[in-house]
Amino acid sequence: MRATYMYGAGDVRVTDAPDPTIQQPTDAIVRVTRACVCGSDLHPFHTMAPTPEGSTMGHEFIGIVEEVGAEVSTVSVGDFVIAPFAVSCGECEFCRAGLQTSCTRGGFWSDASIGTAGAQAEAVRVPLADGTLVAVPGVDESTDDARLASLLTLSDVYGTGWHAALRGGVTKGSTVTVIGDGAVGLLAVLSARQLGAEQIVLMGRHTVRTDLGREFGATDVVAERGEEGIAAVRELTDGGSPIVLEAVGHMPAYDQAIGIARPGGVISRVGVPQYEEAAVGFGTLFGPNLTLTGGPAPARAYIEPLLPGVLDGTVDPGRVFDLTLGLDEIPQAYRAMDERTALKVMIRP
């Protein structure tokens, strides 16, 4: 089969790879019908040290089950499935608590510890298929692209935006500020609106993206950064935002979150941190009684609650995809996202 590997910063290639096979009775083999490039994939794209063997890439996909192990009972050959970005057993204490990213038996895609490969490929072996995969009746390869795009967001970015809003405590009437106009930030806006937020300030400076953010529910947009941006948000929110959703992961975004948070407020951080944890300066949280929360979203916990809105068209999170390419065009997909000529690229193997 064909699969995507990264061999160093900026060096993404599509190459031949062994076809996945059933290795454990709890495995399933899924033929990928749609995958995508994530903003977090750009971190190694910028920083990865060269390696001759390469690293298999991709952690978001939907597809059709082609084979199942003898112990798999919740999905069958021919089922259309959504695969969240974390593999999980569905049985341990963390899975039962809805924290599948901490599953005691699971892990992630491209994870040597559990033998997984990347999802930017023609097919994927799924360990712990019963706990990981979600079958979606009534959907198949003939389903329209817009619906498939929205279903694909449930593997990561929609669930991550929802996680940010949920951990931030967004409820009816909330005032919320979202930092970041990437796919996760925009879907955090959508999620905050779904949860009843009254004022949603989106911090972003790319007009096409912030226009979509307004359509998703943002009431205000602040393009400024640094002290100027902080001042603008504090003015809009009458002294500071009670809830801040940080969807970037870089230190300036975290500093911005601290600057705009209202005393007693909550910062929900879902952007993968690209800095040392010691650098977050917990002393800056102490004085104003700020709460820091967030983390990797247990997308598996959110797929079933969010799925009905996607299926009936009430929400359309797939609008974050603004470019679709074939698998062999993956290098172009990475460049388009890196150069910000595309918000999020969907891959059609």
Of 132, 4, 133, 134, the closest CA to residue 58 belongs to 4
In this prediction, residue 285 carries a pLDDT of 86
Single-letter amino acid, residue 155: S
Which residue carries 């890439």 as its tokens? Answer: 57
- Reading phi first (left if > 0) and then psi (alpha if -120 to 50, else beta), residue 73 is in alpha
In this prediction, residue 40 carries a pLDDT of 92
What residues does each domain of the chain span?
Answer: 2-156+298-348, 161-294
Single-letter amino acid, residue 212: L
Predicted confidence pLDDT, tens digits, the chain (349 residues)? 999 999 999 999 999 999 999 999 999 999 999 999 999 999 999 999 999 999 999 999 999 999 999 999 999 999 999 999 999 999 999 999 999 999 999 999 999 899 999 999 999 999 999 999 999 999 998 999 999 999 999 999 999 999 999 999 999 999 999 999 999 999 999 999 999 999 999 999 999 999 999 999 999 999 999 999 999 999 999 999 999 999 998 889 999 999 999 999 999 999 888 776 645 566 688 889 999 999 999 999 999 999 999 999 999 999 999 999 999 999 999 999 999 999 999 999 9
Homologous superfamily of domain range 161-294:
NAD(P)-binding Rossmann-like Domain (3.40.50.720)
In order of 70, 88, 247, the CA distances from 74 in angstroms are 12, 14, 33
Chain centroid to CA 92: how far? 23
Single-letter amino acid, residue 298: P
In this prediction, residue 275 carries a pLDDT of 73
- Reading phi first (left if > 0) and then psi (alpha if -120 to 50, else beta), residue 46 is in alpha
In this prediction, residue 279 carries a pLDDT of 52
In this prediction, residue 141 carries a pLDDT of 86
In order of 99, 162, 298, the CA distances from 294 in angstroms are 12, 11, 11
Q: What is the pTM of this model?
A: 0.96
In this prediction, residue 286 carries a pLDDT of 85
In this prediction, residue 277 carries a pLDDT of 60
Q: Which CATH architecture has domain 2-156+298-348?
A: Alpha-Beta Complex (3.90)
Contact by Cβ (8 Å): 346, 149: yes
